[in-house]
């Protein structure tokens, strides 16, 4: 009966195989294949596994309280360990031994006070290690100290660096660089002796990142420091020079590592950052003792401008403080609505005559000479011309030919003045600057070197 049913099923199965069917569902991932468990383990497997695990745990201090029992390949772990990580680690070790079927983990964490005070034992071990390493620490510290002292001794050879460097500021910079290099070199060698080279690399890397950040944050300060170095090398002016830096005028007191200090013509201190001074347009009035002054005077449109120019030139040449070489000059600047503007120029020696006083005295002398010669220095006026059929307004009249000739005859050169104003150079501000440079010993901080040429 059973044989006939099997035969019938075998005949029907091919017919179902040719019928259309629905698409097969997606195949599921196969489960991981596990090693088969042996039917009858060897008689000596359990003692071997137990002995092996007990030997492994005996070599690990964290598993000193672990007890192992093995039956039919099943490992049972009992006892206490220090933390939960040790529990998982013990189970992992047992599962890796050959012949183990499974692990029954009954380990518990040790919650006793004595078991959790092992950190003090670690501290004791660390202290013992530190005491043992004290001689090496001492040698490393002495090495670093020796390198640092050597750097300071070399940097302290002031006569050498002052002779090599062009100025005191650069000499101080070289000395600081030498001290820094020797101190860092000593620390590197000491840390290498202690086996802390990796720590040094991490510290230097962090210092580099911090240095870049500080460089961006202190960009203005660094720029000012570099400008101070360049100015100390270039020496654009001398102490007590009268300079104009952009629109800031005064006499130079000193050049420091951060700023240029001026004394204004009003007697006030003016501190300009060196970064601004380095980029500024500097006008030095003291470098060339010969300095030209100029001024304008206008004469009447009816006057002869050539005669006025000649008279002004002769008047300037007669002044004792005006230099003969270069000689004074006069130029027609422009022709206005009611006058002709003449530009007068003359040179003075600033060591003998003050520029402002000389210019003031020259203006007064030329003006007096022109007026005494009959030249009019008119104010701006407008001349109105009317048609001939209209009667002239009673506000003036045209000069006759006789009056014009008489006016020309009166234009004789004026005699040179017998007395002159005091045009000696003023020394109040210069004396204040010298006194300031001598006070409080601050002259030693000055980066201006009178022995070096001015750029």
CA distance 295 to 229: 41
Residue 260 and residue 332 in one domain: no
Question: What residues have CB less than 8 Å from 316, skipping those under 6 apart?
Answer: 322, 328, 344, 346, 362, 365, 366
With respect to residue 27, please indicate whether it lies within any of the assigned structural domains: no
Residue 98 and residue 55 in one domain: yes
Q: What is the pLDDT of residue 12?
A: 38
Residue 145 and residue 195 in one domain: yes
Question: What residues have CB less than 8 Å from 261, skipping those under 6 apart?
Answer: 252, 253, 254, 255, 269, 270, 271, 272
**pLDDT band, very low/low/confident/very high, at 293 (cuts 50, 70, 90):** very high
**Could you tell me the CA-to-CA distances from 326 to 287, 291, 350 in Å, in that order?**
17, 10, 14
With respect to residue 198, please indicate whether it lies within any of the assigned structural domains: yes
With respect to residue 245, please indicate whether it lies within any of the assigned structural domains: yes
Which helix or strand (DSSP H or E) is residue 283 part of?
strand 282-284
Residue 304 and residue 281 in one domain: no
Does the structure show a pLDDT above 90 at 379? no
Residue 359 and residue 307 in one domain: yes
What is residue 165's DSSP assignment? S
Task: Determine the longest span between alpha carbons in the chain, in angstroms.
Answer: 172
pTM above 0.85, yes or no: no
Region of 235 on the Ramachandran plot (φ > 0 left; ψ -120 to 50 alpha; else beta): left
CATH assignment of the domain containing 244:
2.30.30.60
Residue 90 and residue 172 in one domain: no
Contact by Cβ (8 Å): 224, 273:
yes
Summary mean pLDDT of the chain: 77
With respect to residue 453, please indicate whether it lies within any of the assigned structural domains: no
What is residue 415's DSSP assignment? P
Partners of 294 in the β-ladder: 345
**pLDDT band, very low/low/confident/very high, at 205 (cuts 50, 70, 90):** confident
Contact by Cβ (8 Å): 171, 162:
yes
Residue 331 and residue 252 in one domain: no
- Which range of residues forms the domain containing residue 335? 290-385+402-409
Query: Following CA atoms 173, 178, 181, 183 in sequence, which dihedral angle do they give, to the nearest 10 degrees?
Result: -110
CA distance 155 to 177: 9
CA distance 20 to 23: 9
**Could you tell me the CA-to-CA distances from 454 to 238, 251, 417 in Å, in that order?**
7, 16, 41
With respect to residue 425, please indicate whether it lies within any of the assigned structural domains: no
Most confident range, picked from 22-31, 151-160, 347-356, 379-388: 347-356
Residue 299 and residue 381 in one domain: yes
Number of domains in the chain: 4
CATH assignment of the domain containing 103:
3.30.1340.30
With respect to residue 158, please indicate whether it lies within any of the assigned structural domains: yes
With respect to residue 317, please indicate whether it lies within any of the assigned structural domains: yes
For the chain, count helices (H), then strands (E): 13, 11
pLDDT (tens digit per residue) in 68-115: 888 888 889 988 887 788 888 888 998 888 888 888 988 888 776 555
Contact by Cβ (8 Å): 212, 149:
no
């Amino acid at each position: 009966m059973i044989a006939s049913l099997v035969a019938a099923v075998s005949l029907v199965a091919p017919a179902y195989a040719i019928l259309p069917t629905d698409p097969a569902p997606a195949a599921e991932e196969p489960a991981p294949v596990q090693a088969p468990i042996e039917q009858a383990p060897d008689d000596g497997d359990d003692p071997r596994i137990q002995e092996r695990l007990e030997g492994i745990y005996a070599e690990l201090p964290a598993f000193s309280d672990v007890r192992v029992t093995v039956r039919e390949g099943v490992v049972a772990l009992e006892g206490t360990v220090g933390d939960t990580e040790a529990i998982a680690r013990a189970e992992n070790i047992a599962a890796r031994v050959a012949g183990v079927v499974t692990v029954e983990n009954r380990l518990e964490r040790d919650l006793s006070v004595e078991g959790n005070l092992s950190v003090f034992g670690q501290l004791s071990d660390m202290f013992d290690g530190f005491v043992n390493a004290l001689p090496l620490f001492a040698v490393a510290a002495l090495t670093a100290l020796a390198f640092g002292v050597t750097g300071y001794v070399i940097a302290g050879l002031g006569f050498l660096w002052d002779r090599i460097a062009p100025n005191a500021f650069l000499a101080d910079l070289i000395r600081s660089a030498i001290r820094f290099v020797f101190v860092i070199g000593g620390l590197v060698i000491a840390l290498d002796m202690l086996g802390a080279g990796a720590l040094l690399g991490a510290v230097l890397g962090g210092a580099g990142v911090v240095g870049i950040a500080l460089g961006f944050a202190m960009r203005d300060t660094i720029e000012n420091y570099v400008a101070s170095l360049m100015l100390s090398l270039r020496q654009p002016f001398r102490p007590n020079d009268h300079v104009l830096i952009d629109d800031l005028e005064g006499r130079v007191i000193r050049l420091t590592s951060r700023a240029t200090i001026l004394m204004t013509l009003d007697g006030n201190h003016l501190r300009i950052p060196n970064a601004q001074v380095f980029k500024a347009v500097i006008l030095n009035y003291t470098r060339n003792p010969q300095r030209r002054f100029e001024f304008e005077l206008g004469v009447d449109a009816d006057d002869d401008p050539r005669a006025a120019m000649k008279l002004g030139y002769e008047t300037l040449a007669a002044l004792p403080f005006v230099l003969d070489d270069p000689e004074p000059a006069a130029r027609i600047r422009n022709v206005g609505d009611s006058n002709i503007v003449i530009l007068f120029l003359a040179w003075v020696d600033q060591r003998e005559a003050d520029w402002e006083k000389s210019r003031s005295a020259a203006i007064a002398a030329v003006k007096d000479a022109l007026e005494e010669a009959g030249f009019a220095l008119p104010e701006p006026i407008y001349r109105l011309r009317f048609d001939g059929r209209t009667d002239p307004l009673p506000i003036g009249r045209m000069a006759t030919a006789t009056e014009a000739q008489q006016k020309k005859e009166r234009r004789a050169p004026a005699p040179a003045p017998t007395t002159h104003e005091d045009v000696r150079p003023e020394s109040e501000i210069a004396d204040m600057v010298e006194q300031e440079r001598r006070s409080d010993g601050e002259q030693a901080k000055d980066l201006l070197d009178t022995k070096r040429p001015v750029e």
